[in-house]
Structures are given as structure tokens and as C-alpha cells.
Amino acid sequence: MSDGTSSALEARIRARQARVAVLGLGYVGLPLAIEFARAGFPVTGIEADPQRVACLRAGESYVTDVAASEIAAVVRSEALRVTGDPAVLADAELVFICVPTPMSKSREPDLSYVLLAVETVRRYLHPGMLIVLESTTYPGTTEEVLLPQLQASGLKLDRDFYLAFSPERIDPGNRQYRLRDIPKLVGGASPHSAHLAALAYRQIITVVHVVSSARVAEMAKLLENTFRAVNIALANEFALICRALGVDVWEVIEAAATKPFGFMPFSPGPGIGGACLPVNPGYLAWKARVHGFEPRLIGVAEEINRFMPHYAVDLIVEALNARAKPVKGARLFILGVAYKRDVGDVRESPAVTILEELLRRGADVAYSDPYVERVEIGGRVFRSVTVTAEVLAACEGAVIVTDHTAFDYRLIVEHAPLVVDLRNATRAFGPRANIVRL
């Protein structure tokens, strides 16, 4: 790319005239598209799911953290256009790839969505385009996978196009930190790529931190989530030890958290879920093994976190047995199937594993979740049931798997004959004969 063309792109970014395209309008891509539209950029969101396209065009939301009013405002003003046709990339100058990066059944990185997105971009790649990958992935993906595929078009990095990685850091359900409030990491496949990507993000985000390479940015995101996964595993193992010793793990954590330095509290629970925590450490471990290093701590943490849903089922069975009730035929009411509080995402949710195992053991299961209307388990479709005193009284046990703030925990404690609390959601009610806590 000539210096003149590069300068022109930079000028268009500063003037907020550069045409933005966001591939994938999920919990990452949709907020990003809205922020650029609000900032005055002409934005097109590209989404493969026609139902989502129709939903957005109607000004409706399917992402918990994005209000319908936010969508309606930018769609009606035509600041954000939504389409399923990738041909709009032919005119795009800033392209952000926000697609899923799951693990395969064999616990290897599945880059199929990224590869499809990059191939789509390559078909419409033209001089003056900046491509930024936001999807979490293993270190080296941007330079080892995306760059060769894009240069196969005959266009060259820094001459014709620019390429960078900037990991999404959205915390679904977090009302305090929205996209614009979270510092953005940027690593380029070249220094000038990093400069242009950082400049683009600075139009919508207050703090942008540029690192020396895309590989560093990729690694930093994996460290963030591996840190959380490993510490949650420690909290989970501590919960198992405390139960064996007859000690209240929640009181232990609360006591340790009084130290003003050197300790950060993490909570145990029935397991981890979502698109990041169960997946990201696996990406890092896979890449490490490719290079001949076995990451033992990460592997043990994964084992502990994957064990927790099964331990939760054992705890439910133990609680029923203590009341002379077998799990087979027991009417159990599961409270929350989303992977975390106040979101509607069931990807990798421990609740799914718990439901599967309870059904396998012959329990009669129903669930309630204000964010998940239906869920399919073992080929059967279950629909959310409203929490009422009558429903609670009719079950043998209510199991708090996801501690949504919408649940009336006093109602639950007062009317369910047994409450198995896997999230310490009933802590305000103190010790009770009908409550069993993790």
C-alpha cells in the first residue's frame, strides 16, 4: 500500500468516515457494531442467521446485555445496517471478525468459523482494508493462519491491507463494565497494522493498550481466562476439601478475603461454562503441546472444573438419601440453566450436564430460567416453568444451579422442602434444616 493510501485510511478513521463491517453479531460483534454506529461510522453488520437479521432489522435484541432500544436507535437512523450478504465487504475499510472459536470433541481448537470468515473476507479483499480478529484463539493464529490466507489473494500486508488481533473482553451480564469501559488490547501483524487498529478503537473506547505483536495480544487473552479458570478450580477443590472436613467453605473464603493484599476471592460452584472459560485454557494447552510442553496445572484445573457438575449430582443424591428419598422418580426443580448469573447463554453450562445425569438416574426434572425459554436435553425439549409456591412445594427438591438475581430466594427457601444451593445464593437465610450448600 502506498503511503498516500495509508494516510487516506487514517484520515477517514479520524473523521469517522471509514466504512465498518462486523462479521458475526453475537454477544461480541453486536455491541461492537453499535458502538461504531453511535460514534458516527457507517456500519454494516453481517450475520449468517436469517432470524437474527430479521430480529435486528425489527429493532429487537437477542443479546441480554444489549437493550432493544439501543438497536432500534441505530437501525432506524440507518447508522447500522444488517445483512446476511457478505458482498458488502467489497466496500468495507475496517473489518472486524467476531465469530465463535469452540473446542472440538477431541479437545482441539475448532477454527472452522474463523477460517470461513477469513475466506469470505479474502474474496472481497481490496487495497485500503484493515482486518481485525476479535475471536479468542491460540497464539499465532493471526500470523500463521489469517495472514497466509489473505496474502494468497495476491495482496500484501502493509502494501495493500493491514491485519491485527484485538481480543474481546466482554463479560456477559456485567452491568458495570460495558464495551466502551473495558481497556482494549491491540496487537498487529505489523507495527502499522497495530497503529491503524488502535486508532480505530480509540474512536469508541477510552483506553487502548498496544502490544508488540498479535501473538502477545492472543496470549494475553488466554492468560486472563486461564487465570480465572485455574483459580475457580482451586476454589472448587477447596470446597471439596472443606466438605470432607466439615468446614463451611463460604465462611472460609469470606474470612480470607479480609486480607487487603495477596488474596483475591473466587467462588466455587457446579462448574464453569460459556464460550471462554471452558475453552480458552484448552486452546493454550493445545498450542503448548504442539511445541512439546505439557501444561500440567492447566490440565488439572480443567479436570477439577469438569468434575464439579458430577459432584453436584452426587450432592443432590446425598441430600435426597438423607431424607429417605431415592433420586429415581424424585421431582427435582432446577433453578437456572444458563452458565452464569443474569445471562441467557447455555453453551458449556454445567446445568446441562447436571440435567443429563439426573435424567439418566431416573429423576423427574423441570427447570426455571428467566433468560432461557427452552432447552433440549437428550433429545427432549424442556421449557422454563414459573417459580411459584405451589411448584416449589410439589417438588422433592429445588436445586440452585445458576443464581439469577430475578429469583425470589425467600420464596424458594420457605416453600421448597429441600434446597440444594450450589451458588451460596441462600446465605442471607443462614443455616436451615432444608438447605444443603456446596
Model pLDDT, residue 339: 96
Segment 161-220, tens digit of pLDDT:
999 999 999 888 877 888 899 999 999 999 999 999 999 999 999 999 999 999 999 999
Residue pLDDT, tens place only, 14-41: 999 999 999 999 999 999 999 999 999 9
pLDDT in tens, 417-429: 999 999 999 999 9
Question: What is the pLDDT confidence band of residue 3, given thresholds at 50, 70 and 90?
Answer: low
Catalytic residues: 276
Enclosing H/E stretch for 147: helix 147-151
Predicted local distance difference test score (pLDDT) of residue 176: 83
- Beta strand extents in 181-230 (DSSP E only): 184-188, 208-210
> Parallel, antiparallel, or unpaired: how do β-strands 380-383 and 364-368 relate?
unpaired
What percent of the chain is predicted at pLDDT more than 70?
99
| Whether 302 contacts 272, CB under 8 Å | no
Q: What's the confidence (pLDDT) of residue 103?
A: 86
Query: What confidence tens digit (pLDDT) does each residue in 372-413 have?
Result: 999 999 889 999 999 999 999 999 999 999 999 999 999 999
The region that residue 424 occupies, defined by phi over 0 for left and psi between -120 and 50 for alpha, beta otherwise, is left
pLDDT digits (tens, 9 = 90+) for 219-269: 999 999 999 999 999 999 999 999 999 999 999 999 999 999 999 999 999
- The 3-class secondary structure across 304-328, one letter per residue, is HHHHHHHHHHHHHHHHHHCCCCCCC
What cell was used for 288? Answer: 503448548
Residue 65 pLDDT > 90, yes or no?
no
pTM of the model as a whole: 0.92
Does position 436 have pLDDT exceeding 80, yes or no? Answer: yes
Which pLDDT band, with edges at 50, 70 and 90, does 5 fall under?
low
- What percentage of the chain exceeds 90 in pLDDT? 91
CB 376 within 8 A of CB 298: no
How many C-beta neighbours within 10 Å does residue 366 have?
15
C-alpha torsion 201→214→301→246, nearest 10: -30
pLDDT grade for 93, boundaries at 50, 70 and 90: very high
Is pLDDT larger for residue 312 or for residue 107? 312
Walk me through the domains of the chain, giving residue ranges and CATH numbers.
3-212 (3.40.50.720), 232-437 (3.40.50.720)
Q: Which of 228, 408, 405, 211 is nearest to 305 (CA)?
A: 228
**Segment 83-93 mean pLDDT:** 97
Indicate if the pLDDT at residue 2 is higher than 50.
no
Tens of pLDDT, residue by residue over 101-134, are 998 887 889 999 999 999 999 999 999 999 999 9
165-196 burial, b at 16+ Cβ within 10 Å, e below that, comes to bbbbbbebbeeeeebeebebbbbbbbebbbbb
Residue 199 carries which side chain, given as an amino acid letter? L
- Selection from 352, 269, 303, 297 nearest residue 107 by Cα: 303
Cell numbers for 3: 503511503
Res. 354: pLDDT tops 80: yes
Complete edge-to-edge strand list for the sheet that includes strand 419-421? 364-368, 331-335, 397-400, 419-421, 435-437
At 1 the pLDDT is 42
- Nearest 10 degrees: CA dihedral of 319, 273, 260, 234? 60
pLDDT (0 to 100) of residue 257: 97
